[in-house]
Amino acid sequence: MNPNQPPTSILTVLSLDLLIQIIDHLLDPSDRKAVRLVSHAFLRAESLQRRTLNVLRREALVSLLRRYGAIERLDLSLCAGIDDSSLSLAVAGGAAATVRKVRLSRAGAVGWRGLAAIASGCPKLEAVDLSHCVGVGDREAAALAGVPGLKELKLDKCLKVTDVGLAKVAVGCPGLETLGIKWCLEISDVGIELLVKKCRELKDLDVSYLKVTDKSLQAIATLWKLKVFSMVGCNFVTDEGLRYLNNGNNSLREINVSRSHNLTSSGLVPVIEGHKSLEKLEAGYCFYDLEPLFLSKLSGLTYGFRTLKLDGSQISASSLQIIGANCKHLTKIGLSKCGGVTDEGVSELVSSCGDLDTVDLTCCHELTDDSLISIANSCSKLETLLLESCSLITEKGLNLIGTSCSNLQKIDLTDCNITDTALKGLSKCSGLMFLKVGLCPNVSDKGIVYIASSCRKLRELDLYRCIAVGDKGLAALVAGCKEIKKLNLCYCVRITDQGMSHLSHLEELTDIELRGLFRVTSLGITAIAIGCRSLVELDMKHCYSVDDAGFLALAQYSEYLRQMNITNCQISDVALRLLLRNLRYLQDAKLVHLPNVSKQGWDLALRACFDKLKKVKLPSELRYILSPVTIHMLQIRGCRIRWISKPLSRYEVPLQEILMGQKPQPFF
Amino acid sequence: MDLKNTGVSISESSSSKASSSSVMPKTPRNLNPNIPFSTTQFGTSNLCFDSGANQSFHAYQPALGMQSLPLYHENKNKDHQVLDWDPRVMLNNLSFLEQKIHQVQDVVRSMICRREEGQFSNQANELAAQQQLVTADLTSIIIQLISTAGTLLPSFKNSSLPSNPPGGPMGSLIGSEFRSDSAKASEYEELIKGLSNAGDEGDELIKYVNACGGEGTESVLIEDDAMDGDNLPPGSYEVLQLEKEEILAPHTHFCLICGKGFKRDANLRMHMRGHGDEYKTPAALAKPSKEVSLEPAPIKRYSCPFRGCKRNKEHKKFQPLKTILCVKNHYKRSHCDKSYTCSRCNNKKFSVIADLKTHEKHCGRDKWLCSCGTTFSRKDKLFGHVALFQGHTPALPPVDDAKVSVVSDQVQGNDLMNEGSIGFNFGSTSDDVSLLDIKGADDDRGFFSPMNFDSCNFGGLDEFPRPAFEVSESSFSMLPGSYNYVRGNGET
């Protein structure tokens, strides 16, 4: 107890376990932070209660692990500069003895020594996530094999892991239940076959993009506990391979065969026949035609079959009708980029499937308001509606959606050319959290006002190239939607420093894109930096009106900034160096076309942050200008350098950018 | 002379110990006198030839001397005293040759004189006799010269040398005119025959008509792994057995004039062209035709001369070898020192140079290493192995090598292999031990007991002509590792 605490404080009366119970009810991290700053008693209670730890700085890792003695989930994926020595130091002496799960996703500097330290320091370890650590190879896998109790392992995109590494894991961790080896391109049939022989407990397996053949499928089919199987982009697997999966187990719940080009829809028939309890089937970009046999077999599945994703196929109205008739309990349907989808087909489908909560009709260009009407009439539980590039829809349909689907949380109207009136209709969905109206030049401040006035829960707003939106709209937005975390204002060129000062009131804002806002100057950026203290991602590409003052403000105030794009900005040597040095958590920087930075400036700036950067985009000419030592320093710490040789284009709005600017949203 | 006459000693010991020896008792070398006796016995090297020459020189000196010169007799004893390379002896030999040449010169000169005198007709017989004499003398000079030169060869100085059993009635003739009518077939003649014999390999064999043709039961015993699935019932074929000297001979055909050895008769014939126009005639260059027999040639199979070997005809489960090449490869692989070392890994040794070449093609690629130390050239084989044994995993290259290279991996693997197999690697004798020394060791029958041999019959020692470098897992069963699976390992 803190002796300075007044004796009348309630904290002296409550026992530790009661305090812990109080903390248990606090879910928001910021609330927790407030609580543990109140008193030592709460601090101690919290340290005993806390199970999850997300460390952002490697310097803090040791002390944090010492303080929190009961940590079970340790997330180091955002920890800047985490490396072998800091890991070894942190887990030494049993400091992490209670840890069960470790996330090291994208921790490029972690090698086998660190993993070996974890393996020996965390005896209860059950789950490790090493996804996107592109440098991880067989030796790291061998270190993980020293964790006999390992049940869950993610090695997605660990490019250097070969069959040997997989064999190490397979032999060392026979109790493995979940394994992701997506993009581990070196792994082949031999490795899979051995894995299957050694790890009989596997329930969840992801072999996406591997060059495996039917032989692997034959082996995998013997995993009688397998529930979730993902084989996206396995182009060497044929229908024959899928036939093996009909093994009489009925164990599969989810299967994803998307982008496996050697499959036909009838190849899935044996899978459906063998696994009646299937819940989720994804076969996007896989086959062009849906054969009647496949569609009719869908009726054999149990009521548990909820999710069907057939992106990129050719689906006629009659096919949709059969799907609707056979899968009445579908809750999620994905028809993104499907050809032949018409209003008739959609209405046939939704009239049978009243339980749908997610409908993906992205790029079904032929759809009109009729589809929306039938959706609105049938799907009262609708939560997610993706209508990108359905340019024929109007406010009429959307109004109906807003009226009927009160549960709507997410709607994508990118490139639908909607108007303010449509937004007015949608604003009836008070629970709306994600709204994308990019590339709708008709959306103006008025529409934003409608949304802001009623959709108070809005978290994410995409106004990409809504050129009619200006400062007033932002003012209304800030007034109404305080919880916004993510905001895309790229190329909304009317926005000025005034708008930025409005935005500075969004304390929860973590992610903001300000590309091409040439009216925004250092003043606006300074306002953002001071106001939006939780900012994690910032895109200022082509904000060429911002000068060093703005960047210095960022360097001083935006301490949580992790990802930054300042391509084509007027930043000087000093500011760049200060920015890169001061941003302690910076991991991803895009630094192409910085005309005011000299050769020495580059060297100094990059050396100032070499140990925390994980990804950096640099102009390709720097490859020959930068000192090789700097490049080596970056690379040896696991930083991936992408050399960009695109010519500078200030006013150009390339089509590519329009397409790429839309980050894919997680669908289901 | 310090010539051990290994060939002789073997046959003698065989005949004396009839029960234990397998080679000789049933196969008297002169069983078929019509088959010209082997030339290769002399052919292991120049030295062999030399030794044979020396010996025959002495042994049959009387025969020669009868037609020849007394001087030769006088030198005989001196020749006997040649124990090693001795300048004194050499001088003796050379002076003998000199004298001999002078004598021949004299004879020829006298012949010229007589011709000039025009005494042809009445002295035709005498002239013919003289001519014969000259030829004989010249031949003996050549041989003596070669033998003298042979003693100078350092590598063979101390070797035991094969020779023929004395007194074998050698029936075949050679084109040499000088050959005496004497009923005693001399080894000298045999040597000459050896020099000029152009017979093919089949003729070099000691023929042995399989005596166990009646034992029908043996056919059951012949196992399936006989070469190429060639399951001939015993007795349906002729079994031939070469002597080890014949097997190991680098050359089987020798030039009569200069003594140069050749592997092929055709090459010898080509070579002979350089010695004069008489060798350039189509007849001389033509392939000597074999006797054309009307009956179909009997199927021939070969026996390994090594007693106790499965390929030896005395073995209970005798499996014959199909061709002479098989015999040669088998004998070298199984019963000889491995004198060819891989220059890449400096570890693997081979007795057949072709095996070395095959290995060198793959050396360094054998990178699939198991934690138990076994290496595999193919990944799927390693993974099959790992799948089979609990706890085995594919091994990674050594940790602290910053540059993790295949080479270091390989070296490690080979170290382990060495460790594993050293216990019974009887090829591990040092490199400078010559083939001939090993032959001497061969005679020491206890050295390789059949059992001992079987127990380490792995990889390179296999009699099958497959690449010898492929190490089977069994070779690691004695690895002093801490694995519990050693037994299982050995059983695969």
Instruction: Give the residue with greater pLDDT, A520 vs B437.
Output: A520
Q: Minimum mean pLDDT among A6-20, A115-129, B267-281: which range? A: A6-20
Q: In the predicted model, what is the mean pLDDT of residues B93-119?
A: 78
A189 pLDDT higher than 60: yes
pLDDT, residue B119, reads 53
**First and final CA of chain B: distance in angstroms?**
53
| Chain A nearest CA to B359, separation (Å) | 25
B423 pLDDT higher than 90: no
Task: List, in sequence order, every residue forming a beta bridge with A642; answer none if it has no partner.
Answer: A617
Q: Give, in order, the Cα–Cα distances in Å from B473 to each of A163, A193, A462, B386.
A: 21, 22, 64, 12
pLDDT, residue A512, reads 96
Rounded to the nearest integer, the mean pLDDT of chain B is 60
Chain A residues lying within 8 Å of B381, measured CB to CB: none
Q: In the predicted model, what is the mean pLDDT of residues A604-633?
A: 90
Chain A residues lying within 8 Å of B394, measured CB to CB: 163-164, 167-168
B205 pLDDT higher than 80: no
Total residue length of chain B: 492
Residue B336's pLDDT band (cuts 50, 70, 90)? confident
Structure-token match 């093994």, residue found: A247
Chain A residues lying within 8 Å of B391, measured CB to CB: 171
- Distance between CA atoms of residues A214 and A209, nearest Å: 14
- Distance between CA atoms of residues A576 and A608, nearest Å: 10
pLDDT, residue A3, reads 53
Cβ distance A167 to B399 less than 8 Å, yes or no, reads: no
pLDDT, residue B84, reads 55
Given CB atoms, is A186 within the 8 Å cutoff of chain B?
A: no
Highest-confidence range of A523-527, B124-128, B290-294, B314-318, by mean pLDDT?
A523-527
Query: pLDDT tens digits, residue range A100-150?
Result: 999 999 988 899 999 999 999 999 999 999 999 988 999 999 999 999 899
The closest CB to that of A163, out of B383, B391, B392, belongs to B383
pLDDT, residue B356, reads 87
Query: pLDDT tens digits, residue range A67-113?
Result: 888 899 999 999 888 889 999 999 888 888 999 999 999 988 899 99
Per cent of chain B over pLDDT 70 is: 43
Name the DSSP letter for residue B237: S
pLDDT, residue B158, reads 44
Given CB atoms, is A608 within the 8 Å cutoff of chain B?
A: no
| Chain B nearest CA to A226, separation (Å) | 20
Given CB atoms, is A197 within the 8 Å cutoff of chain B?
A: yes
pLDDT, residue B118, reads 57
pLDDT, residue B290, reads 60
Chain A residues lying within 8 Å of B403, measured CB to CB: none
Query: pLDDT tens digits, residue range A199-245?
Result: 999 999 999 999 999 999 999 999 999 999 999 999 999 999 999 99
Residues 6+ apart with CB under 8 A from A652: none
Query: Across the A/B interface, how many CB contacts are shorter than 8 Å?
Result: 34
- Distance between CA atoms of residues A236 and A358, nearest Å: 32
Cβ distance A171 to B393 less than 8 Å, yes or no, reads: yes
Q: In the predicted model, what is the mean pLDDT of residues A278-286?
A: 94
The closest CB to that of B379, out of A145, A163, A168, belongs to A163
Given CB atoms, is A67 within the 8 Å cutoff of chain B?
A: no
Query: pLDDT tens digits, residue range A420-436?
Result: 999 999 999 999 999 99
- The beta strand positions in A492-559, using DSSP E, are 511-513, 537-539
Residue B408's pLDDT band (cuts 50, 70, 90)? very low
pLDDT, residue B36, reads 44
Query: pLDDT tens digits, residue range A436-480?
Result: 999 999 999 999 999 999 999 999 999 999 999 999 999 999 999
A175 pLDDT higher than 80: yes
Per cent of chain B over pLDDT 90 is: 2
**Most A CBs within 10 Å, among B369, B375, B378, B383, to test the A interface:** B383
Residues 6+ apart with CB under 8 A from A538: A512, A513, A514, A554, A558, A561, A563, A564, A565
Chain B residues lying within 8 Å of A191, measured CB to CB: 383
Structure-token match 């391979």, residue found: A241
B85 pLDDT higher than 60: yes
Cβ distance A193 to B387 less than 8 Å, yes or no, reads: yes
Q: Which residue does chain B place closest to A172, by CA atoms? A: B391
Give which of B392, B384, B375 is closest to B484, Cα–Cα: B392
A298 pLDDT higher than 80: yes
B320 pLDDT higher than 60: yes
pLDDT, residue B116, reads 67
B410 pLDDT higher than 50: no
Q: In the predicted model, what is the mean pLDDT of residues B367-382?
A: 86
Q: Which residue does chain B place closest to A165, by CA atoms? A: B394
Given CB atoms, is A193 within the 8 Å cutoff of chain B?
A: yes
Cβ distance B387 to A172 less than 8 Å, yes or no, reads: no
A652 pLDDT higher than 50: no
Given CB atoms, is A111 within the 8 Å cutoff of chain B?
A: no
Rg (CA), chain A: 27
pLDDT, residue A650, reads 52
Residue A385's pLDDT band (cuts 50, 70, 90)? very high
The answer to whether residues A262 and A238 touch, using CB atoms and an 8 Å cutoff, is yes
The answer to whether residues B239 and B303 touch, using CB atoms and an 8 Å cutoff, is yes
The interface residues of chain A toward chain B in range 137-166, judged by CB-CB distance below 8 A, are: 138-139, 142, 145, 163-164
Given CB atoms, is A135 within the 8 Å cutoff of chain B?
A: no
pLDDT, residue B63, reads 42
The closest CB to that of B383, out of A139, A172, A190, belongs to A190
Instruction: Give the residue with greater pLDDT, B88 vs B489.
Output: B88
Alpha helix stretches (DSSP H) within A16-57: 16-24, 29-36, 40-49
Query: pLDDT tens digits, residue range B117-134?
Result: 655 555 667 777 778 888
- 3-state SS, residue A431: coil
Per cent of chain A over pLDDT 70 is: 95
Given CB atoms, is A115 within the 8 Å cutoff of chain B?
A: no
Q: Minimum mean pLDDT among A71-75, B323-327, B414-418: which range? A: B414-418
**Residue-wise DSSP of B111-131:** HHHHHHHT-TGGGHHHHHHHH
B252 pLDDT higher than 70: yes
Residue B401's pLDDT band (cuts 50, 70, 90)? very low
**Most B CBs within 10 Å, among A112, A136, A161, A171, to test the B interface:** A171
Q: Give, in order, the Cα–Cα distances in Å from A460 to each of A374, A411, A412, B28, B131.
A: 27, 11, 11, 103, 120
Rg (CA), chain B: 28
**Most B CBs within 10 Å, among A115, A136, A161, A168, to test the B interface:** A168
Q: In the predicted model, what is the mean pLDDT of residues B295-311?
A: 82
Fold (topology level) of A527-668: 3.80.10
Domain locations along chain A = 13-47, 527-668
Torsion of CA A336, A341, A345, A349, to 10 degrees: -10
Rounded to the nearest integer, the mean pLDDT of chain A is 90
pLDDT, residue B425, reads 35
Torsion of CA B137, B142, B145, B149, to 10 degrees: -160
Q: Is the ipTM of this complex over 0.85?
A: no
Instruction: Give the residue with greater pLDDT, A472 vs B402.
Output: A472
Residue B473's pLDDT band (cuts 50, 70, 90)? very low
Q: Which residue does chain B place closest to A190, by CA atoms? A: B380
The answer to whether residues B42 and B162 touch, using CB atoms and an 8 Å cutoff, is yes
B468 pLDDT higher than 50: no
Instruction: Give the residue with greater pLDDT, B208 vs B250.
Output: B250
Cβ distance A198 to B387 less than 8 Å, yes or no, reads: yes
Q: Give phi and psi for A589, each to the nearest 5.
A: -130, 135
Q: Which residue does chain B place closest to A174, by CA atoms? A: B391
B135 pLDDT higher than 80: yes
Name the DSSP letter for residue B474: G
> How buried is residue B19: exposed, middle or buried, by Cβ count under 10 Å (0-12/13-18/19+)?
exposed
Residue B90's pLDDT band (cuts 50, 70, 90)? confident
Q: Name the token pair of A363.
A: 């790029």
Chain B residues lying within 8 Å of A142, measured CB to CB: 393, 396
Q: Which residue does chain A place closest to B385, by CA atoms? A: A194
Q: In the predicted model, what is the mean pLDDT of residues B220-247?
A: 63
B43 pLDDT higher than 90: no
Residue A8's pLDDT band (cuts 50, 70, 90)? low
Given CB atoms, is A171 within the 8 Å cutoff of chain B?
A: yes
